[in-house]
Amino acid sequence: MNYARFMTAVSAARKPSAIRILTELQQRSPPSLISLAGGAPNPDTFPFESASIKIKDGETVTFDAALMKRALQYSASSGIPELLTWMKNLQKTLHNPPTAGYSPENGQMDMCVTTGSQEGICKLFEMLVNPGDNVLLDTPTYSGTLAALQPLGCNIISVPSDQHGIIPASLKEILSRWDPSEVHKPGSTAPRILYTIPNGGNPTGASMTAQRKKEVYELARQYDMLIIEDDPYYFLQFDKPWAPTFLSMDVDGRIVRTDSFSKVLSSGLRIGFLTGPKPLVDQVVLHIQASTLHTSTFTQVNKTLILHHCILYLSLSLQTSVQHTAGWFTYSLSEHTVSTMKHIFEQSNHRLVESGSLCSRPLSNLHEHKLKLASESGCVVTLQLNQTGHCGVSCLGGTAEEGRKIH
């Protein structure tokens, strides 16, 4: 693929930051090397010496003096090596992307760490969208997407969706305005980008089926478009087997995927990761070099340690656990005090929707809305109006029983 045709003039003009290159070279050097070129402060002057973070499962993540010095120092713009390695292995295990074995110039799968998936989305749009461009996105969509797109002066074309996500027939009808054979001609206004949240879409909760993804991907091939697969809710799917991702069927190198740890570990740690063709990921990293420099090193090291402890904890637990038949989680009856199925169901029913959780349903008009404030559960109902004029209701907090009463 010709990735140059997708980039804005600003993105194409980005060059590597000399000081960032020096920082990465210094990190690959022996500790005895003292470099004055990168502007890195002497780690002995940092006020924090060590730290211990206790996890709810009883494990403790420890930052000794050496690790603390590293965690408080500058790091590579693409991410610390061990976290990148872990995430690349994760993506290959989960999605088995065809592009993993491609050459870099042909769209080899690459990754970088972002400060939450929102940074990845913003930098992708700034790399790919010119004023006046036509950009496709499923509707209704995430308000943060609109906040990132609208200032760029593009034309947002809403693609109708239902409970199964984007409707391929509607997308095909929209694209029929352009001749596929002319999309590469100078001055063509054909869309070059399709943005979608394929699983548990915000705010609809819709999830795209495998068949629809195949149809949408074929349309993207026909019109030579990139697909931004924004998938922060991938790990929150309830039904098995999970539908294959766009990344898993990407034979061309036209999928750029954003993932997040915000919904499964912590939203405040601000860790996301971007996966896509190396030429595009490289340009995003150049933008990071000139803006945020890198995601917090402390956060990245902390995340890596937690993942290490998670794997270690599961490995020990598996020694005495019941053999599981599906899913990532294993419940070890011999090592947990809460082990009766009756108690498990009681607790899951009581804690199904915790305070701070978000659930929603569509409203046909504002008059159907009834405000309910439950002081004991902390349940607060609010209205949300999206860009198409549809109204939604959101409930924050409450137990499963209370959640069912909200109609």
CATH number of 3-39+74-295: 3.40.640.10
> Could you report the per-residue pLDDT of 185-239, keeping only the tens digit for each?
999 999 999 999 999 888 888 899 999 999 999 999 999 999 999 999 998 888 7
C-beta separation of 231 from 198 below 8 A: yes
pLDDT digits (tens, 9 = 90+) for 270-321: 888 999 999 999 999 999 988 878 887 777 777 676 666 555 444 444 444 3
pLDDT at 271: 86
Q: Are 97 and 248 in contact (CB under 8 A)?
A: yes
Closest CA to 298 of 20, 61, 38, 29: 61
Query: Is a pLDDT exceeding 50 seen at residue 383?
Result: no
Q: Is the pLDDT of residue 401 over 70?
A: no
Q: In what order do the strands lie in the sheet with 134-139?
A: 109-114, 272-277, 255-260, 226-230, 193-196, 134-139, 155-162, 165-166
Q: What is the pLDDT of residue 51?
A: 86
pLDDT of residue 310: 58
> Where exactly are the structural domains of the chain?
3-39+74-295, 350-405
Bridge partners (DSSP) listed for residue 227? 194, 255
